[in-house]
Amino acid sequence: MEDYLYQSERLGFRNWQEQDLVPFTKMNENAEVMEFFPTTLAINQSNDLVETFKNHFIEHGFTFYATCLLTTHKFIGFIGFIGLKIISKTFDFACGVEIGWRLDNHYWGKGYATEGARIILAIAPSLGIKSVHSLTAVINKRSEQVMIKCGMNHVGYFEHPLVDIKSDLRKHTLYKIDLK
């Protein structure tokens, strides 16, 4: 039995475990999954991300949680919060909190990202989170639709400072929701 911190109807959210490293790496090596990122990730980069997520949980009490199907306990990706570290010339949201998700492409089109994001947003106030941002490349319409379905409001567009100036991924859209 898994030790989930939070659950939605079909998903469980927990801290990262050793068994998550291989499927997470495979997911990050998948060009389709990483279509809206500058590059796929190597095993060491995926492992470093997991360590970052674990440390963020220890320091802040929330993270991008390992996300599993409740019926099978199978790892399908991550959904959760992390502190934003990006500062753009258009928006200063360096001290904010970002909600994000990345699911293995075998689990797309089933409503898992929206279901998971909604439950994570619902628990945010209990974690002391008062507002949440979400951002993605303008061309990533699937993620933008999740933001809209979760009731987030469009704030505007910005040039992502960590993406090559010549890349189609540089122009980003920013959403925000204030929570009670």
Chain mean pLDDT for the chain: 92
Structure tokens at 56: 């963020």
- Alpha carbons 129 and 133: distance in angstroms, whole number: 11
- pLDDT, position 161: 81
Residue 51's CB is within 10 A of a number of other CB atoms, namely 11
What's residue 15's pLDDT? Answer: 96
HSE, CB side, 13 Å, CA atoms: give it for residue 53.
Answer: 29
Q: For the CA atoms of the chain, what is the radius of gyration?
A: 15
d(CA 110, CA 9): 13
Confidence of residue 159 (pLDDT cuts 50, 70, 90): confident
Is 60 exceeded by the pLDDT of residue 90? Answer: no
pLDDT at 83: 79
Lowest mean pLDDT among 43-47, 94-98, 172-176: 94-98
Average pLDDT over residues 90-104: 79
Dist. CA 163–CA 161, nearest whole Å = 6
Would you state the structure tokens that stand for residue 61, as one six-digit string? 């009490």
Q: Is 168 helix (H, G, I), strand (E, B) or coil?
A: coil
pLDDT digits (tens, 9 = 90+) for 109-149: 999 999 999 999 999 999 999 999 999 999 999 999 999 99
CATH of domain 6-133: 3.40.630.30
Greater model confidence, 2 or 179: 179
Q: Cα–Cα–Cα angle for 150, 57, 36, nearest 5°? A: 50
Q: What are the domain boundaries of the chain?
A: 6-133
